[in-house]
Amino acid sequence: MDTELVVAIAQITTGIATLIVGLFLAGQILLQRKALDRAHQDADRELSMSSAALDQELLMSRTTREQIKKSWGKREEGLDNLDGEEVDALNVYFRAGFVLSNTMWRLGRLKDRPGYYTRRYEALMDSVAGREYYHRHFRQRVLDSELASIAEEVYKGLEGNHSPA
């Protein structure tokens, strides 16, 4: 055979082999992308379940942890009118609730539903003690300006409805 013909056949064969390898690698990239998408969905579901479990544990602590249970009934008296153990119990409860809200927001959980956070903050600040805790300890710790705006709106709305006569 002619040398030029052999070189042409070799180049065509090399081109076809390169194309086959490229297509194979593109297929592998698509498979890996699908696997990563599934892993992301699984992680998102796990985060949702963990968040829900923490929320339930926090809510249940009102009835299962004796000190919080005792203090919970007195939260309308305000932090200054409770004894040290009662203040500590409510501080632990409120800190956990506010930190959980902050963390969920930071992780992007339900950021597209600000009403969810409004309801969370309404539940945490539904008492004198809850609003006092927010004002004294957590107001400056809400890191995101949009979340801080939600918390502040709830605080002002509830504080306005419960101001002393």
Render each residue's pLDDT in the chain as its tens digit; 165 residues: 688 989 999 999 999 999 999 999 999 999 999 999 888 888 888 877 887 888 888 888 888 888 888 888 899 999 999 998 999 999 999 999 999 999 889 888 888 899 999 999 999 999 999 999 999 999 888 878 899 999 999 999 998 875 443
- d(Cα 149, Cα 129) in Å, to the nearest integer? 20
The pLDDT of residue 162 is: 58
pLDDT score recorded for residue 47: 78
Q: How distant, in Å, are the alpha carbons of 25, 33, 51, 58 from that of 116?
A: 44, 32, 13, 17
Q: What is the pTM of this model?
A: 0.70
| Alpha-carbon span 102 to 151, nearest angstrom | 10
CB of 90 closer than 8 Å to CB of 75 = yes
- Backbone region of residue 113 per phi and psi (left: phi > 0; alpha: psi in -120 to 50; beta: other values): beta
pLDDT at res. 2 = 87
- Helix ranges, the chain (H): 3-64, 66-72, 84-106, 114-124, 128-133, 145-161
pLDDT of residue 1: 66
The conformation of residue 77, written as its DSSP 8-state character, comes to G
